[in-house]
Structure 1
Amino acid sequence: MTGKLYGLGLGPGDPELITLKAHRILTGAPVIAYPAPDTGPSFARQIAAPYIGAHQLEVPIIVPMRVERFPAQEVYDGAAETLARHLDAGSDVAVLCEGDPFFYGSFMYLFERLSGRYETEIVPGVSSMMAAAAALGRPLAARNDVLSIVPGPLDDDIMQARIEAAGAVAIIKVGRHFARIRALIEAMGLTSCAGYVERVSLAEQRVLPLADVTEITAPYFSMILIYKGGEGWNARTAAATE
C-alpha cells in the first residue's frame, strides 16, 4: 500500500485561517513537505508551525527566489522523486501551500508529477485575495461585475486592457512592480477606486487607499484591489481605512 498525497491550503498567513480539515490532516500526516527559499524561512511552514509536532518528518523543497530564470523543472522533478520515496514506503505526505494549492500555487507542479501515481487530495485554502477584500472592508464584486485577476509582472498595455475590460480587479504579485503599476492606475484615473493591502492577516498588515501609500516600493506579499462597478463601496472603504 502506498501513502496518500495531500495538498493543504493554509490561507494567507494567520494560523487561525487554516481550515479544520487542513488542520486534521496536517497534524496527522507522518511526513510534512513545504516550499522553502534558498535563503530565509519557509512562509508556509511559519503558518503551520503551531501545529507541527516533533514526531513528524519535515521535507523542505528548496525553491530559489530569483528574478532571473532558474531550472524550475529540475527542482520539481527532484522534489517529486523525494516525496515518491515516502509515498512508496506507505507514508502519507502533506504538502503545505500558502493560500490555496491551485491558485498560483507551486503545489500544482508536484500534482502534475505525482497525482497519476498516487491517491491525491486537495484541501482548498483561503486565498490572499479573499483575505485582502475582508481586510479592506469592501466586497470584491457583485451582481454582474466581472472580476479579473491580474498578475503584476504583466506589461502595461496588457494590464491596462485587462483593467479596462473588468468591473473589479485584483492585481497580485505587486512587489517590485509597485511603482509602475501605481503610475498606470493613476494614468487611467482609477486611483480613487483602488485599495492597497500588504501582508494581509499578519501582525504587520497594512490596509490603505492606494492614494495614501507614500512608499515607492512594496513587499512581495502585497495586493491592489480596484472596484469600478456600480456599488458605492469605494467611498465607504476610504472612510473605513482612515
Structure 2
Amino acid sequence: MFNNASVQPATTGKGHLYGISTGPGDPELLTLKAVRLLENCPVVAYFCKRSGRGRARTSCEAHISPQHEELPMVYPVTNEIPHDSREYRQQIEDFFEESAQAVARHLDAGRSVAVLNEGDAFFYGSFMHIFLRLKDRYESTVVPGVGAMMAGGALLPHPLMMRDDQLRVIPGTMGEKALRASIDPERATVIMKVGTNLPLLRGIASDMGILERAWYVEKASMPEEQVMPLAEAPEGKAPYFSMILIPGPGVRV
C-alpha cells in the first residue's frame, strides 16, 4: 500500500515525475529522500541493457515491492555501433522518445513515476533525456545523489581537492587534441567515461608530468571496485564504470 502523503500532491490530476538518483552502486549510498519517494511511487522506471536490470535497479532492490509496477526501458544499442554515427544517434533519440511516452502514459493516468538513474540524475544521467521531454507537461522533482566521482574520490589515500584547488570534470571520450586542451596540471581533474582512451590518457598524464598524481578507479563502491595509481592501470579498454582522478596541486600528501 503506497503512502500518497509521502509524494508531491498532484495539483493537475496527473502523476508526478521523479528523477531518483541511486548513487554509484552501493545500496547504502541511497539518500533517505530517494528511498522514501521510491517506496511510495506506484511506478518504478529504470534503464537497462537487454542482458539485465541495470545497476540503478539493482541498487534499489530492497525498496521495490511486488506492489510496484515496473517499467524497464531497454537500450536498443550500447557499444555495437560507434557512438558518433548517425545510426546510433537516431536509435538512441528514438529510444528516449519512446521511453518518455511510456512514462507519460502513467503520468496521464494519475500515477507518479520514479525514474531511477545511476549516480546523479543531472550528471551525465539518462534521466535528463526523459526530463527534458516531459518537464513542461508534468510536475517534476529531481532528487540528487552521490556521484560516482565522489565515491571514487573517497577511495584515494588523500583528498581530491584542498584549499584553493579548482576542479575540472571532462568526458574521456573526446579526441586526443581536445583531451590535451582540457587537462590542466594546475587543476584537480576527474575524467569520466574512460573506455578505449585509457592508454591515451595515461600517455597524456605522463607527458604533462602529472602521472604520479593520477589514480585509476573502477566500479567505485561496488564489491568488485578497484583503485590504483594510473601508472599501474590495466592495458586496453577500461570498463564502463571507470574514471581517472587527478588531485589538485594544493593537496598535501
Alignment of 1:175-186 (within 5 A): 175-186=195-206
CA contact under 8 A between 2:215 and 2:245: conserved in structure 1?
yes
Note the C-alpha offset of 1:166. Answer: 4.5
CA distance in 1, matches of 2:45, 2:215: 34
Paired residue type of 2:57: R
Counterpart of 2:16?
4
Note the C-alpha offset of 1:50. Answer: 1.8
Alignment of 1:1-242 (within 5 A): 1-63=13-75, 64-66=77-79, 67-68=81-82, 69-70=88-89, 71-164=91-184, 166-233=186-253
Counterpart of 1:238?
none
Structure 2 length-normalised TM: 0.88
- In structure 1, list runs of 5 or more residues that go unmatched: 234-242
Instruction: Provide the secondary structure at the position in 1 that maps to 2:224.
Output: coil
Note the C-alpha offset of 1:143. Answer: 2.4
> What is the CA deviation profile of residues 195-222 of structure 1, one whole-angstrom value per residue up to 9, with x for unaligned ones?
1110100111111111222443321111
CA contact under 8 A between 1:38 and 1:65: conserved in structure 2?
no
- Equivalences, count: 233
Deviates more, 1:190-199 or 1:175-184: 175-184
CA contact under 8 A between 1:147 and 1:166: conserved in structure 2?
no
CA contact under 8 A between 1:176 and 1:220: conserved in structure 2?
no
CA contact under 8 A between 1:148 and 1:166: conserved in structure 2?
no
CA distance in 2, matches of 1:75, 1:2: 23
CA RMSD of aligned residues (A): 1.4
Structure 1 length-normalised TM: 0.91
CA contact under 8 A between 2:161 and 2:167: conserved in structure 1?
yes
Paired residue type of 2:78: M
CA distance in 2, matches of 1:161, 1:39: 37
Paired residue type of 1:160: R
Note the C-alpha offset of 1:138. Answer: 2.8
> What is the CA deviation profile of residues 121-170 of structure 1, one whole-angstrom value per residue up to 9, with x for unaligned ones?
00000000011100114322222222110111111121112112651000
CA contact under 8 A between 2:50 and 2:74: conserved in structure 1?
yes
Instruction: Provide the secondary structure at the position in 2 that maps to 1:7.
Output: strand
Deviates more, 1:113-122 or 1:42-51: 42-51
